[in-house]
Homo-oligomer: A and B are copies of this chain.
Amino acid sequence: MPIKLSDIAAEFGGRVVGDDGVEISGVAKIEEAQEGEITFLANPKYTKFLNETKASAVIVPLDVTEAGDTPLIQAENPYFAFLKTVVLFHPPQPLIAKGIHPTAVIGEETEIGQDVSAGPYVVIGRRCRVGSGTVLMPGVVVGDDVRIGSDCVLHARVSIREKVILGNRVVIHDGTVVGSDGFGFAPEGGKYHKIPQVGTVVIEDDVEIGASTTIDRATLGETRIKRGAKLDNLIQVAHNCSIGEDTVIAAQAGLSGSTHIGSHVKIGGQVGFAGHLSVGDGAMVGAQSGIHKSVPSGQMVFGYPAKPHSEEFRIQAALRRLPQLLKEVKDLKQRIQGMEEALRK
């Protein structure tokens, strides 16, 4: 059903420039949008598309005031405005039929809240609690003594191991494992002996975790992912780590044991952290970096091993001149030798 441009703008308090009665029937990326669709401009890389787009309207930052004849909606935060617009055209759909599928196996003394949906072949252990409105997709396996809050979504085949605690509105994508044993073995007599991993994992409210990520339980105590943190796919979080509030971690990054990440930290893909480190609030870690020592609050680091951004940048620039430098020094050496001989005469 088409929505008027003025109604879209009202969703996020945007200001229409041009005809606010245009009817919009969908949302698309700027380079793919067709007539009747709305698009947005948040990444400056895409500005070149602004005058070429076939879209019938564009959400833009406040400093963009015209784009030919195309009506605009100016927004303080165009990316967030885009989010609101997507929701308008794609209201959330239930992923699965309501209720508990008859094949779901639920252990003794487990309490299931109101309006919980559990798909086929879900397995929930003994003495668990599942909060109201939570959705467990097919094949989810929950161990004994687990607590899951309200309005969570556990996608297909997620594993929640024994004693783990999840807050409210936690979303976990397919195949992710929460609470697998930490990697702890004591060497003795030339062999490794397993250290029982008797701690747990706590995932606080509003955390989202991608697919096929692994979060190990603590040896003792807990591994903790704090409120609002967002983790991508294929990430490793080792035993006894903590990840701060509103921190984002891109795919395939890995944390070794007992490393603590502050709040509002941004971590790129494939970054690796050694163990027993701390990363301060608001730090930023470039993709693929290797972090071997603690990072102060607010610092930007990258590289392998990681260094402060400006230092690593200078080193990388210098590196490109290194082969030439070797030649130059060889040449200087000969000139010095020549002069030394001249002076000796």
B287 pairs with A272, CB closer than 8 A: yes
Cβ of A151 within 8 Å of any chain B Cβ, yes or no, is no
Closest beta carbon of chain B to A155's beta carbon, Å: 7
Cβ of A322 within 8 Å of any chain B Cβ, yes or no, is yes
A221 pairs with B32, CB closer than 8 A: yes
B210 pairs with A214, CB closer than 8 A: yes
B252 pairs with A252, CB closer than 8 A: yes
Residue of B137, B175, B254, B343 near A175 (CB, 8 A) is B175
The 0/1 profile, CB within 8 Å of B marked 1, for residues 192-215 of chain A is 111110100000001010111110
Residue of B28, B216, B220 near A86 (CB, 8 A) is B220
Closest beta carbon of chain B to A47's beta carbon, Å: 13
For the complex, give the distance between the alpha carbons of A8 and B67 in Å: 68
For the complex, give the distance between the alpha carbons of A80 and B188 in Å: 7
Closest beta carbon of chain B to A127's beta carbon, Å: 12
Interface set, chain A 138-164, CB cutoff 8 A to B: 138-139, 141, 143-144, 155-157, 159, 161-162
Closest beta carbon of chain B to A307's beta carbon, Å: 8
B80 pairs with A193, CB closer than 8 A: yes
For the complex, give the distance between the alpha carbons of A77 and B192 in Å: 13
Can you give 9 contacting A-B residue pairs, CB < 8 Å? A29-B219, A32-B220, A45-B276, A139-B141, A174-B177, A192-B230, A210-B214, A236-B269, A254-B270
